[in-house]
Amino acid sequence: MQALPRAFYDRDTSLVAHELLGKLLVHRFNGSELIGKIVEVEAYLGPHDLAAHTSKGITPRTQVMFGPPGHVYVYLIYGMHHCMNVVTEADGTGAAVLLRALEPVSGLTVNASGPGRLCKAMGIDKSHYGHDLCSSSLFITEDPAAMPIDIAERPRVGVDYAGEWADKPLRFYIRGNSYISKK
């Protein structure tokens, strides 16, 4: 099983978001292996995107999002849920893709539909902040059983405060998949 190369992430964020659909997220720890297929994502384009955390500029929390591509941006939302993002584009851009839902493939015992539940199911928490996906413990790989998929585009979720950016179709999911977090 081969992790995707850093060059995969060093491209246009919307393109990376599209191509992440259908890929496998793998987390190995404590001798176990958890695998889920990515079925829903959202793209956050950078400081000019008012819905992105980087729109306020670089802070201790968002600095990894401004760093080199292929790293993980994990944060706690509403005091109780972790959310996992993948940093995209060149060092300094401040863009990322939020992973919103997984289809269980191996080792997953609970529902992973929704960004908070996804992290809970995969055992992701703030200790993974800044983790390099070009590693052997937590990474994304091509699905060996990949099938052609139909991608749907919708406005992002929970970003009403972002003005015109709230309406942009930057949420992508595999049409017809029953594990997406919202209909």
Partner DNA sequence: CCATTGATTGAG
Partner DNA sequence: TCAATCAATGGA
Residue ranges in contact with DNA by CB under 7 A? 42, 44, 51-53, 56-57, 59-62, 73, 75-81, 83, 85, 96, 98, 114-118, 156-159, 161, 181
Gyration radius of the chain's alpha carbons:
15
Q: Show the tokens assigned to 132.
A: 């390099």
Nearer to DNA, 91 or 150 (CB): 91
By the 10 Å C-beta count (0-12 exposed, 13-18 middle, 19+ buried), 150 is classed as exposed
Least Å distance, CB 86 to DNA, is: 10
Q: Show the tokens assigned to 69.
A: 């591509």
Least Å distance, CB 111 to DNA, is: 7
Distance between CA atoms of residues 147 and 132, nearest Å: 27
Least Å distance, CB 90 to DNA, is: 17
Least Å distance, CB 125 to DNA, is: 11
The residue count for the chain: 183
Nearer to DNA, 28 or 155 (CB): 155
Nearer to DNA, 9 or 136 (CB): 9
Q: Show the tokens assigned to 104.
A: 């269980």
